[in-house]
Amino acid sequence: MKITKYGKNLKYTYMKWNLLILFMGLLLLPGIVKLESTGDNLFHIFINGARMGSVADPKDAERMLWEARREISASERGLVLMDVEMTYVGEEVLYGYVDDSQEVYGNILQALRAGVQETSVLSYTLKMDEYMVNLASMEEMEQLLQAVISKYDSEGKFGVNIVQDENRLFNVLTANAVDRESQSQEQERLAEREQQLFPEAGIQAELTRLFAVDMEKEEKDFGDYDLGILSMDFAEKVEIVEAYLPQSQLQPLDRAIEELTVEQETVGLYEVQPGDTLSEIAIKVNIPMDDIVAMNDSLDDINTMIRAGQELVITVPEPKITVERREVNYYEEIYDAPVQYIDRDDWYTTQTNVIQQPSAGFRKVVAQESYENDKLTQREILKEEVVMEAVAKIVERGTKVPPTYIKPISGGRASSGFGRRKAPTKGASTYHKGQDWATPVGTTVVASCGGRVSKAGWGSGYGYVVYIDHEDGRQTRYAHLSKILVKAGEYVKQGQKIALSGNTGISSGPHVHFEILIGGKQVNPLKYLK
């Protein structure tokens, strides 16, 4: 009995020590900690709903999140946008299992990388009117603008200067072209002036200035002029701003250069100058005459008469950016003397007469010229030596504005036009020499243009008819009338009531027949109506 009881006590003692040792071992295992009872003391961390691990203090998780953000941003060039939301659930426990900090940090880092939406890189945006381009660096921006300048600067004399725009509150840069050599010389002059102990002033400075002016007034020979580009700059205001943009929005440099330098067709207007002909205009604008006719509804063919002040639509090849420059150039050239005009007040502006044909001359010149891209906008001859004198073209021209023509009735339906047709009724012509408008009998007919009535009465196939002679030598005819309201020899004004429409003569129905004659020959009247 005693042995049995002793064995039981021994077994009980052995079990107590084992439990104590096991409990102490659990306390010493990593991650198992005794937590103070102060409310929630164990926190389970989640990012975008996924569990990252457990920590004793949420500030530890916030530090890990910040460090993970920093690590990702350091590995990327630019601004990283992430879709990240960190939450945690707390609980109060006596003993809790805390995850290894490196493991939790790794989980957070992996979750942040998965949550990266896009990376925006530091880039530069060029704005000019409605045009905009995004480039990856300031170096590329300089190369782009330099390519624009170099297209017109074969000597490489000018460079691009990008500076802060003093007129803007925000960080906006502006670009302009600078003469590298002149800029360097100016810097040297300023440095020399600063080093002078006694700079010129008063009477000495004034004498130096007057001497320089006298030197400029001296007659120069051709070899005394400095030829080449004097100045160059962008016509439009060029602005450059920093921006963080996705890589997909950046444009390759070579494509940006092509966009800014390649010429594209742009609609423009050319104002006809006195003495211009369509063939001369075609040479000036470098567009074939047939193409000019096709672009302008006012031109029927290449023989259509044009007048000074008339505007013609033309397409002009132009790049997106305009470079203005001034040059001094030497030429040995064939030249034309300016056209000399003799005004005739009793002639219409459509009348001209050449009384002396021109003859080209030959000369040597030094000229200062202004350009917009390749277009010459201004020319001033600085020195000229005529080898052979040019003979001017002398032209007589009219100054009177020619009369205009209006439709002789209000409304009406165009029923038969000018030209060949199938005869609408027996006895009618198969070549129609006017314009017909179908209209009820009794419609008011007015004078298309002011003039003298040369005929008013019966006109055989025309029925009742009125003829009016006009100051420009043209004649209008109004036929198939029901009633005539004017007499031969009477002078009528434009728009004055002269008759009522009818259905007389050889007619297929109530209408007005209208003709315009030039030099006694009928022409299509619709081409002359205002």
Name the nearest CA neighbour of 447 among 473, 472, 466, 471.
466
- Return the percentage of the chain with pLDDT > 90, whole number: 34
Query: Residue 371 in 3-state DSSP?
Result: strand
Question: For 245-263, what is the mean pLDDT?
Answer: 86
Q: What is the pLDDT of residues 322-349, one digit of tens each?
A: 899 999 999 999 999 999 999 999 888 8
Report pLDDT for 9: 61
pLDDT band at 510 (very low <50, low <70, confident <90, very high): very high
Question: For 433-461, what is the mean pLDDT?
Answer: 94
DSSP-assigned states of every residue in 326-363:
EEEEEEEEEE-PPPEEEEEEEEETT-EEEEE--B-EEE
Question: For 281-285, what is the mean pLDDT?
Answer: 84
Is the pLDDT at 22 greater than 90? The verdict is no
| Tokens 């600063």, located at residue | 194
Is the pLDDT at 258 greater than 50? The verdict is yes
Report pLDDT for 196: 59
pLDDT band at 65 (very low <50, low <70, confident <90, very high): confident
Report pLDDT for 187: 63
Question: Which is more confidently placed, 128 or 185?
Answer: 128
Q: What is the pLDDT of residues 353-368, one digit of tens each?
A: 999 999 999 999 999 9
| Tokens 């962008």, located at residue | 234
Is the pLDDT at 410 greater than 60? The verdict is yes
Report pLDDT for 31: 47
pTM above 0.85, yes or no: no
Name the nearest CA neighbour of 488 among 468, 473, 474.
468
Q: Which helix (H) or strand (E) holds 87?
A: strand 86-91
Contacts of 410 by beta carbon, 8 Å cutoff, 6+ apart: 443, 444
Is the pLDDT at 511 greater than 80? The verdict is yes
Contacts of 7 by beta carbon, 8 Å cutoff, 6+ apart: none
Report pLDDT for 321: 87
> Rounded to 5 degrees, what angle do the CA atoms 292, 323, 371 make?
60
Question: Which is more confidently placed, 401 or 253?
Answer: 253
| Residues 223, 217: Cα–Cα separation, whole Å | 16
Mean pLDDT lowest among 3-17, 142-156, 466-480: 3-17
Is the pLDDT at 198 greater than 60? The verdict is no
Mean pLDDT lowest among 37-41, 101-105, 195-199: 195-199
pLDDT band at 147 (very low <50, low <70, confident <90, very high): very high
Question: Which is more confidently placed, 230 or 111?
Answer: 230
Report pLDDT for 211: 55
Query: Residue 420 in 3-state DSSP?
Result: strand
Is the pLDDT at 167 greater than 80? The verdict is no
pLDDT band at 304 (very low <50, low <70, confident <90, very high): confident
Report pLDDT for 515: 95
Instruction: Reduce the secondary structure of 276-336 to three states and give it as a string.
Output: CCHHHHHHHHCCCHHHHHHHCCCCCCCCCCCCCCCEEEEEEEECCCCEEEEEEEEEEEEEC
Is the pLDDT at 217 greater than 50? The verdict is yes
Instruction: Write out the two tokens for 374.
Output: 């390749």
Is the pLDDT at 248 greater than 70? The verdict is yes
Name the nearest CA neighbour of 80 among 116, 124, 113, 112.
116
Is the pLDDT at 256 greater than 60? The verdict is yes
Is the pLDDT at 487 greater than 90? The verdict is yes
pLDDT band at 485 (very low <50, low <70, confident <90, very high): very high
Most confident option among 2-6, 214-218, 277-281 = 277-281
Q: What is the pLDDT of residues 73-126, one digit of tens each?
A: 777 666 667 778 889 898 888 776 788 889 988 888 888 878 766 667 788 899
**Mean pLDDT of the chain, nearest integer:** 83
Contacts of 180 by beta carbon, 8 Å cutoff, 6+ apart: 157, 158, 159
Report pLDDT for 301: 84
Report pLDDT for 275: 72
Report pLDDT for 279: 84
pLDDT band at 416 (very low <50, low <70, confident <90, very high): confident
